């Protein structure tokens, strides 16, 4: 069953694709059938800059357990940066 879950947010950052580094302007987070990962459904992360065309994209597919672990580590890294006083 397709979930059709797709959420978009603006981001500021950079991504590295096959042609090198490019500016990112959006992140799209979804949960649906994977394209390449060997799981039925996956967390789908797309970091893109639509103004640069379809090649300005970094795509990631993670199983649910990996997704949860990644979220925990992102939150831990942010908390540590804030405690150290280096978070912007």
Helices (H), 1-88: 64-84
Under DSSP, the state recorded for 35 is: S
Following CA atoms 59, 49, 81, 86 in sequence, which dihedral angle do they give, to the nearest 10 degrees?
160
Residue 87, pLDDT score: 79
Residue 8, pLDDT score: 98
Q: Please list the rounded mean pLDDT of every run of 10 residues in the chain (88 residues).
A: 91 95 98 91 96 95 97 97 89
Residue 88, pLDDT score: 76
Tell me how many degrees the CA angle 84-87-88 measures, rounded to the nearest 5: 150
Residue 1, pLDDT score: 75
Q: Where are the domains of the chain?
A: 5-63
């Amino acid at each position: 069953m397709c979930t059709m879950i797709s959420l978009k947010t603006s981001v500021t950052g950079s991504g590295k694709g096959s042609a090198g580094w490019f500016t990112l302007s959006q992140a799209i987070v979804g949960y649906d059938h994977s394209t390449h990962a060997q799981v039925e459904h996956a967390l789908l992360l797309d970091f893109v800059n639509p103004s640069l065309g379809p090649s300005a994209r970094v795509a990631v597919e993670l199983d649910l357990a990996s997704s949860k672990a990644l979220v925990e580590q992102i939150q831990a890294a942010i908390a540590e940066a804030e405690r150290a006083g280096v978070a912007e």
